[in-house]
Amino acid sequence: MRRRLATGLAGSTLALAAVVATATSADAAPADKPQVLASWTQTSASSYNQWTAARANQAAWTAYGFDWSTDYCSTSPDNPFGFPFATSCARHDFGYRNYKAAGAFSANKSRLDSALYEDLKRVCNSYSGATKAACNSTAWTYYQAVKAFG
């Protein structure tokens, strides 16, 4: 009787361990999550474009567990003087939230802030003359604010 009970318990324990291991691995984010996060938070236009494409199709990235939430430009206007900065601010929020969740924020903050500035300048490149100068000045102000207080 003891032998049958011990065998039954051992079998049950192995089955439970297999179920737990499967559930844990199914809930875990893909191993390349840090690389994907890094690729979407660089200063380049291609990084920005990759992120905006992924943002438009968030369901495809569900397994990664990214935090897509945003308050856009926080307490600053999202479209100051009519300049559409909201999407750039959303990408900045994405970087901040996801690097904080990964415990790697301080090592990446400077690059995230620089990426915001580059994104804002790309917005400004669609203007010319005094309007472009005003946009660039506003972008610089936003960059200085996140650099100091973000």
Place of tokens 């003087």: 81
Query: Of 40, 47, 66, 92, which one is the catalytic site residue?
Result: 92
Residue 1 is among the residues annotated as catalytic for this protein: no
Please identify every residue annotated as catalytic: 92
